[in-house]
Structures are given as structure tokens and as C-alpha cells.
Amino acid sequence: MKLSFTKMTGAGNDFVMLDNRACTTFLSASQIAFLCDRHFGVGGDGLLLLEPPANPEAADFRMRYYNADGSEADMCGNGARCFAQFARHLGATKSLGDSIKFETLAGIISATYVGNEVAIVLTAPHSLERAKAVPTRSAGEITVGFINTGVPHAVQFVADVEKIDIRTLGAEVRYNEVFKPKGTNANFAQITGPDSIRVRTYERGVEDETLACGTGVSAAAVLAHLVHGVAKPVRVLVQGKSILTVDFREEGSEISNIVLQGPALVVFTGEIECP
């Protein structure tokens, strides 16, 4: 099967993008894993399909997101920003102005084009815990914050993120018994200024560190504000050296209207034979 694709990056988080508005592309988990493979396929942290919405009155498109291992996930923050830019790249947003809405398994996402950047409003966060004890083999018992910003995220604040053995500790948090049965994404954050943090992320489904994670950046920013008093909007430096901005509404103990903004760029387009 020959597929036309677009390779995109959102702050270093990279994706294989497929236009499936005709609803003729059906991929198995092994085919998705092949396309995301960096040695034999296109290479990416995940794969996204742009499809017609199930409810055209509520949304303009539907986003299907798959991790690099072929498993489907509810949402991906940087993937959603790339998705919006991909729709624009295809010319599918000409009649829609500067804002679009699209369906995800986590709910409706709205996106606004801000120059070459894209700002998205995430679905309402939930399951917030400011402090949670997590036993690990390599670091003993650590304390993390936890919040679901479309997908689950644990965040540990450390003095220096560069000293973290992220493959070891990240995997221990991701598969930890306290997050069973589905596990969690693992983030490690360092406060770098009154309104800035640095974040590294071990992503579930990729099973390794990625150069950026939009929902992880958002989770870390919210917890940095709530637990450590970091001023919002929070500027977040990711492993890919890009800066993302996170703002949100805070009413008492309720967090809502999380807005994630940053770059979303086309890297290249092409065709590939998919077995």
C-alpha cells in the first residue's frame, strides 16, 4: 500500500500526518509502528489521521492519534497543534478563518493560528493531586504531582533535570503500581525563573524520552503554578530547545481553559510503501 504523508514537528515532538478525509485508509498497529520507525519508516513519536468529524455541527475535523507503538491515545498536545497546522497546510481551513475545532477521544479541541504558531485550548483537566508518593528502585520514594491534561501525567520537580536518568526513572514512574492499570507519562521539571520552567518527558507509548510533550508541558506548568507559585503564563523550555507557553484559568481550586501555544512546522512530504 502506497501512502502519501507529511512529516511535521511541534517543538521537536515529531509526527507522521495522513489526510484521511476520504476515509479510505485503515492501518493496523504494526503498520503504524512501521511508519513511526526511525530506521525503516518515516520516523515519528506518533501518527495522526485527519478525518471528517462525527458531528459536523460541533467540529470541523476529527483527529485520530496513535503512539509510535501503534496504540491509540486519547490526545496529544503537540500533535493537536500539528494537526491544526496540517489542516491549514492541506487548504482545508480556507473557509474557517483563524480558528478551528476538532474531535479527539478526550473531547473537542479548539485551535487558533497565531502567525506560524498554533494555540490550542485543551479539554478540561481532571484527577489533580498536588503530592503523591511513588516508590522507585533507583531513587527511593519520590513525590510527584499528578494531573490528566487529556492523558495522565506525573510531574516531579527537581533541582537539575539534566542529572535525571530519564530512561530509568521515567520507566519506573510510567509503569509504577500506583498508576495501574494504564500507567502514566513521567515528567521531570526544574524551576528556572519566576515564570519559567524546564521540562523533560518520558512518554507512554513511545517508551522513551521525547523532545517535547504538549500535554506534559501543560501538566508541569499547572503544577509549577499551584505548588511552587510560578507565575502564569508559564514559559516552558523543552528538550528540543523550543519554548512553549502555557496559560490557564484558575477559579478557587478549579483549573480550566488551558491554552498551549508554540511552533508547528512541516518538515517534509513524501510517499512510502507500507507493508
What residues act catalytically?
Answer: 76, 213
What are the two backbone dihedrals, phi and then psi, of residue 99, each rounded to the nearest 5 degrees?
A: -135, 145
- List the Cα angle 69/71/75 in 5-degree steps: 115
For residue 241, what is the DSSP state? S
8 A C-beta contact, residue 3 and residue 34:
no
Q: What is the CA radius of gyration of the chain?
A: 18
What are the two backbone dihedrals, phi and then psi, of residue 9, each rounded to the nearest 5 degrees?
A: -135, 135
8 A C-beta contact, residue 219 and residue 132:
no
Give the CB-side neighbour count of residue 34, counting CA atoms within 13 A: 11
Place of cell 513511526: 36
Of the candidates 193, 101, 199, 196, the residue with the CA atom closest to the CA atom of residue 154 = 199
Three cell numbers at 129?
493531586
**Which residue type, as a one-letter code, is found at position 255?**
I
8 A C-beta contact, residue 102 and residue 63:
yes
Q: What is the C-alpha separation between 96 and 129, in angstroms, rounded?
A: 38
| Contacts with 39 (C-beta within 8 Å, 6 or more apart), sequence order | none
